[in-house]
Structure 1
Amino acid sequence: MNRSFAQFHIPLHVMAASLALMLAFIGTANAQSAPIPEVDTARQAVDRADQADADQYAPDAMARARNLLAQAQQAQSNRDKKDAIEFALRASADADLARALSQEALANAELQHRRAEISELQRKLGTEETP
């Protein structure tokens, strides 16, 4: 007669140790793959600032944002959630600042362009106003 697995007698401490090792391995695998949402949000903020030409109009804030994002990603890969979140939040703030400064510079340039157009039209019409 062939023996089934149910008939094997394994000591309880061996089964408990095996179960503990298996759970520890699964826990480690989950800790490595658990994403930190703040890091992803920071990456998106840096991307938005980059699309707004923040490198040209706010290079210092943009450089800080990129540096902090890199630190957040490094902390995440080291499984240091607290530091990863802190760096990511600071990176998001600097990226948002860089984007806002870029948008402000573009708006000011557009405003100056429109004022120049108004002055030119007033000159052509002979109705130039003195400020």
Structure 2
Amino acid sequence: MTASFAYLRRSLYGIACFMVLSSPAAAQVAPELTAAEQAVQRATQADADQYAPDLINLARQELMQAQQAQLDKRQRKQVPQIALRAAADADLAKARSEEAVVTAQLEQRRKEVAQLQNTLNTGEGGR
């Protein structure tokens, strides 16, 4: 029984060392990179794949570029700039997607109004 507790203690030390050593790496993630990831997610949720596929694909490529640059010490300084471009393109894709949805809804409402006007006009003409 004592041997198992000793093994457990070593495992806990190993886990603690791993956590301590990995914390600085996680803390070094640029906030712009996190913002870009969130912007791409928001654009995807707004159906940007359907309404702004070129922009959302560009944003995803730029996000991947920023993530790869984050791993390379020589390119790490470029991460904020690349991530900001990715976030901007994702935000634009989201805006264009939302615009397309609203435009489609507006067109639907106009058709409904036109149908109602036709119904009223034909109903009045029959009297």
TM-score bracket for this pair, using the shorter chain length: 0.7 to 0.9
Task: Note the alpha carbon deviations across 1:2-33, whole angstroms, 9 max, x for none.
Answer: xxxxxxxxxxxxxxxxxxxxxxxx99x73575
Give the drift of 1:122: 0.4
Match of 2:78 in 1: 83
Give the drift of 1:50: 0.1
- What is the TM-score when the length of structure 1 is the normalising length? 0.71
Match of 2:101 in 1: 106
Give the Cα–Cα distance (whole angstroms) in 1 for the partners of residues 94 and 44 of structure 2. 8
Could you say what the CA RMSD is over the residues aligned between the two structures, in angstroms? 2.2
1:119 to 106, 110, 114: 114
Question: Higher helix fraction: Structure 1 or Structure 2?
Answer: 2
Q: Tell me if 1:34 matches 2:46.
A: no
Give the Cα–Cα distance (whole angstroms) in 2 for the partners of residues 30 and 47 of structure 1. 26
Match of 2:14 in 1: none
Give the drift of 1:81: 2.9
Give the Cα–Cα distance (whole angstroms) in 1 for the partners of residues 29 and 62 of structure 2. 17
Unaligned runs of 5+ in 2: 1-19, 123-127
Give the Cα–Cα distance (whole angstroms) in 2 for the partners of residues 113 and 52 of structure 1. 19
Q: Tell me if 1:51 matches 2:18.
A: no
Over alpha carbons, which structure has the higher Rg? 1
Give the Cα–Cα distance (whole angstroms) in 2 for the partners of residues 32 and 39 of structure 1. 12
Figure out how many residues of one structure are paired with residues of the other and give that number: 102
Percent identity over paired residues: 51
Question: After the TM superposition, which segments of 4 or more aligned residues of structure 1 sit over 6 Å from their partners?
Answer: none
